[in-house]
Structure 1
Amino acid sequence: MSLMSKIGAYVERVYSLRYYGLFLLLLQVFPAIYYYNRVGALPFPGEFVYQSLSLLAWTSFWLFICALCPFRGLRLAVQWLVGLVYAGWMLFECFLAFSYNSLYTDSIALNMLASNPEEGKAFVENLNYKVFMLPIFVLIGIIVLYVLVSRVLAPKLKPAGLLVRKGLSAMGLVFVLLFFIVVLPAQTSVRSYLYMSPLDRLRVGTSVCLHDAQELENYTKMAKEIDLGEIKQEINLDSVNIVVLVGESMRKDYMHCYGYPLKNTPAQDSLIASGDMVRFSDVIASAAWTTGSVSSAMTFYREGGANRQWYQYPSLPMVMSRAGYYSYWISNQESQGNAIQPIATIAGTSDSVSYAKIRAVGDWNSAMDLELLKLLPKKNIVPQGKKALFQVVHLIGSHTPYAGRSNREFGIFTTKDLPATLPNGMPTPKSEAKRAVLRDYVNSIRYNDEVVRRIVAHFSDKPTLLVYFSDHGQALYENPDKPDYYEHEVSRQGLSVPLFVYMSPSLRKMHPEIYERVVKAKDRKIMNDLFSNSLCGLLGIRLKYYEPEYDYFSDEYNNNRVRSVIGYNGKPMTF
């Protein structure tokens, strides 16, 4: 048989699979339709275009592969195998859409590849027969449609001409070429799983998850190998629990306890009034985004230090562990992903880490912060040989979208309740959409107040020192150059954060001198890159990285230190 004859026979086989191609296309399309219906949204134009091209390209690819088999029996076997895989994956992604409002992503892969059986078990806890009722019904319908069209309708149709048969094969080839030339670069650039076909999501989601997990393991191993030298504790705090609450996007001048008109911090107001909680008046974050701020606050890195990178310094959880504490980190933030890797690395230097919900960067389906209470120790978990608990609680706080950071019980303020002016004196926007954003932010702070109250209550009957600070603030329509903007900003509004120190009644009786040091420091000028150094100083923990002039609880503290933060233009801004 000549080459042209072989090509002609191949084109005929590709054409004969046209209804099978429709079958594969429907198996891939339905999970996306099911997902968009579950989340109540329509695809964006980019999602529609790139996902459609990806679906058509992979459908064409499998037709070309199946058509390579000249023997009908072998070709049917390959068709069945590919069809079964796609049918199974369709049911799986429908389960994800039903249970988690998600298609397959690296966050889902992270759940499936959970480090212990219990985490993996939790992933499928929502599984029940109702999940599959509609998808199985649709799958049966697709199969019946395929059989009817290919076996009943097709034989009755007039055969297409040679030009049409060749044209369909050429069109499939065009789709495959477009995938490599246009779609794949777009998927790599945007990395939206809604730009992808099911097979792309499987490939990208799994590979990203494994890559990030390996990077996290490498970074954590490197962080744990930092030489701490000798560590000693000059104050006897063997029975005292140390708790650090790291808030998110909490701006102090939107809190009633810092002077905001609406009473959205009743618990903190009460604790401050009783003297159990000390409010610090002049604190800024070291960066306007989470990784930059927390990676400096929770390590011994400081602006202007000898080394330029946070990972060249020991983490606070590791120092506390080496000082004799059992360090336990619980979080409502992402557990891995390139953008959050510094935080996950620091968390990984703790003796134990738990997450409210296993998710990767880009998955904004977080738990509510009150769900973290279930992860707090209900009994003494400190192993023999450790003096007390060092507990870190990393909240999702007031992260955007603000409407998702509260619930009906605490969403007590309406747009009509907003004061006439913003905290900086500008008029409150009249736009109802902007007022809704401000309302949701104020309500998120009310919810956060309840979270703080319950965590304080959890530890209040034990000797406990608890510190709460936020990673950064928020800009909320104050910038005249960007009147419609809210979120991260290197500015006074974007960096001004709350800082509180709570001491339980029993600890205040045991160590009144610590309380006096806290009160003495409350009006000092502070940037939170000094937090780890200062907390260790307050606890009497000494190591070679400790510097008393950068300990804001110390009498040696340099209150004239210039607080410098790098702006988006690369230039330092001082506060």
Structure 2
Amino acid sequence: MYATKTFLLILLFSFAIFMSCFQSPLYPMHRITLLRLIRSGVFLYGSLILVHFLFPDSREQQRRERIAGFIALLWLLPYGLVFSQLPVLFQNDIGNYFIFPSVLFASTVVFLELASHSKKARNPLCSLYTLVLFLLELSRIAYCFYFFHYGKPLDEIALLSILATTPREACNYLSSIFSLPLLAGVLSGLTTGFLLLFHEVESSCRSSCISELKGKKWMILSLLLLYFFGNYLTSIFPADRFLHLYRENGPLQAFRDLRQNLPRNARALKLEAPASQLPGSIILVLGESACRDDMSAFADTPENTTPWEKSRRQDQCFFFYPHAYSNFPNTVMAVTQALTSANQYNRKPLKYSVDIMTLAKKAGYETYWISTQEQSSVSDAGITVIAQQADHQEWLQEPDEDILEPLSRIPAEKKNFIVLHLMGSHFRYDYRVPQAYVEKQHWADVDKREKALWYRRSLHYTDFVLKDIFEETKSLPLQAMIYVSDHGEDMELTHTASPFQYDMVRIPLWIYLSPSYQQAYPQVSQQLRAHENAIFTNDLLFDTLSGILRAPSNFYCRQCDLTSPDYNITRDNALTLHGKRRIADDSRS
């Protein structure tokens, strides 16, 4: 009777909350969600019956049920708050979010009883279970924070970015959102919350409600609850998003396939014509988070943010592309496709592609990868695989100008293909600009929270680094230099697939060809000049570099190469966000 009353009170309370807060209509509702909502009611009633069947009614038992119920309710409320703000979300499959609290409630009550019978292992068990509960509660806070900060639910690509974040980047991000006192307060609050949760769990295990656990039913019940707990845990955030990353054709699975299949694909690579025999170096500079909207070399900006690049606009050896786009607003996703033969147009999976380093080596170049970005097994899953194909690798700390020293050590007598991966304008922007450079420019001391201003300053500093790279490598001699960014940047949202803005994919692209190169291959410069106003997405970089290297292969596409007369990417067929958005829909395209 008590279980029935509790069940009806919870249903009444839930209905009142739904009617007053939720914007989502009940009808039409996703069929699976409707079934799972019905099942959630069954789970709720079943969990209440189970608990009251197993345990005698006592003050201690009622305290445990209140704790378990509070934990389950605390977990569900933030998700319910997010769901209530999205009118169409109830048409999606979110039913498991309403089943899991019942499983969490029953599991917690049973765990507390089991732990009370384990005198020696009680504290370790309580610590472990408290950690599980705390991580569950922490994940709901992260999910809720992301939604109210970005206005979209946290998807698997956003989770990939979070998993990719290094400790230094995490500190940069948190310090940009919270002041140090507030951040200290948040950390103190989380620590206090963990300790209070542990105290409640541990104190509830000091005495048992049942004198002795007899028979196999407790073992069977424990295994059954563990099964349901684990099963439903994998269908909710963050486990569901994480598993999506490893699904078939998911990003992390695709990177694994790339690593596994690159040697086989390298053996299959065949050049269609003899590669360039010109001595000297070809350099590819990969920028970070540079948006051409804020670069004076590409747009009419209030201040000259890229003075050196702008001065090169009239140089006949430089080719500027004001309609270049990224294929994805995420570094690892964008760069992996940029440096392999896979792209949005051929829809070729990464496991069937070949990388630019392998192509350059096949064409007779000594290959180098020099980066000021941190290595990370998650964030650079695809990038690191490509970097490892180079003959020489070097990973440096910031600032970006330190990349000049290893450049100066590269021998000039060889044909070299060099990839330089800069930190560029990675968030936080003020951290990207050395204090010595600020003083050299006589810039005023400005609050670090002025994001837009520091972003423009970071572009100015990158312009300075590009100038020094260009000057340093002239003696190699330099045959060609390409600068392109991985993706753009939005001043409010930075860069993310959800929510998406087109300034996140508007990127700079320019190409330098030396006079000797142009003399040897005049058709290359002719086509580059003819296509200066064409739409370009950076997943076509492999094909364009194949043209510049004079190394077309059986993985090459002439229609995707800016140096080819057959190049046919236009405003109408150009894509971004890995084929989910059309460039034609960008008002500035």
TM range (shorter): 0.5 to 0.7
What's 1:228 paired with?
268
Q: Distance in 2 between matches of 1:522 and 1:570?
A: 25
Task: Please show how residues 35-434 of structure 1 align to structure 2 within 5 Å.
Answer: 42=184, 44=187, 47-49=190-192, 219-226=258-265, 227-234=267-274, 236-258=276-298, 259-305=300-346, 307-357=347-397, 367-380=398-411, 388-411=415-438, 412=441
Task: Find 2:531's aligned residue among 505, 521, 543.
Answer: 521
Letter in 1 for 2:388: G
| RMSD (CA atoms) | 4.7
Query: Is the 8 Å Cα contact of residues 258 and 350 (structure 2) preserved in structure 1?
Result: no
Letter in 1 for 2:187: F
Query: Is the 8 Å Cα contact of residues 371 and 396 (structure 2) preserved in structure 1?
Result: yes
Letter in 1 for 2:392: S
Task: Find 2:482's aligned residue among 445, 461, 467.
Answer: 467
Pair 1:568–1:459, CA change in 2 (3 A) = closer
Secondary structure of the residue that 1:256 maps to in structure 2?
coil
Query: Is the 8 Å Cα contact of residues 228 and 314 (structure 1) preserved in structure 2?
Result: no
Letter in 2 for 1:398: S
Task: Please show how residues 429-468 of structure 1 align to structure 2 within 5 Å.
Answer: 436-464=450-478, 465-468=480-483
Pair 1:537–1:568, CA change in 2 (3 A) = closer
Structure 1 residue 285, shift from structure 2 partner: 1.0
Secondary structure of the residue that 1:493 maps to in structure 2?
helix
Secondary structure of the residue that 1:354 maps to in structure 2?
strand
Pair 1:528–1:48, CA change in 2 (3 A) = same
Letter in 2 for 1:293: A
Secondary structure of the residue that 1:476 maps to in structure 2?
coil
Structure 1 residue 546, shift from structure 2 partner: 1.4
Query: Is the 8 Å Cα contact of residues 272 and 554 (structure 2) preserved in structure 1?
Result: no
Identity of matched residues, %: 20
What's 1:364 paired with?
none
Structure 1 residue 270, shift from structure 2 partner: 2.5
Q: Distance in 2 between matches of 1:353 and 1:46?
A: 43
Letter in 1 for 2:336: S
Q: Distance in 2 between matches of 1:463 and 1:510?
A: 15
Structure 1 residue 449, shift from structure 2 partner: 0.5
Query: Is the 8 Å Cα contact of residues 245 and 393 (structure 1) preserved in structure 2?
Result: yes
Letter in 2 for 1:48: T
Pair 1:353–1:44, CA change in 2 (3 A) = same
What's 2:154 paired with?
none
Pair 1:298–1:47, CA change in 2 (3 A) = farther
Q: TM-score, normalised by structure 2?
A: 0.55
Query: Is the 8 Å Cα contact of residues 474 and 488 (structure 1) preserved in structure 2?
Result: no
1:210-266 deviations in Å (ceiling 9; x for gaps): xxx999898534322214342254454341311100111100120111222211212
Letter in 2 for 1:353: Q
Structure 1 residue 467, shift from structure 2 partner: 0.3
Structure 1 residue 49, shift from structure 2 partner: 4.3
1:191-228 deviations in Å (ceiling 9; x for gaps): 9xxxxxxxxxxxxxxxxxxxxx9998985343222143
Q: Distance in 2 between matches of 1:391 and 1:291?
A: 19
What's 1:476 paired with?
491
Structure 1 residue 459, shift from structure 2 partner: 1.0
Letter in 2 for 1:460: K
Gaps of 5+ in 1: 1-9, 18-34, 61-162, 168-179, 192-212, 358-366, 418-431, 478-484
Kindly tell me the number of residue pairs found equivalent between the two proteins: 384
Secondary structure of the residue that 2:417 maps to in structure 1?
strand
1:553 correspondence with 2:584: no
Query: Is the 8 Å Cα contact of residues 488 and 506 (structure 2) preserved in structure 1?
Result: yes
Pair 1:544–1:255, CA change in 2 (3 A) = same
Letter in 1 for 2:387: A
Secondary structure of the residue that 2:470 maps to in structure 1?
helix
Pair 1:232–1:53, CA change in 2 (3 A) = farther
Secondary structure of the residue that 1:467 maps to in structure 2?
strand
Q: TM-score, normalised by structure 1?
A: 0.56
1:502 correspondence with 2:512: yes
Pair 1:238–1:276, CA change in 2 (3 A) = closer
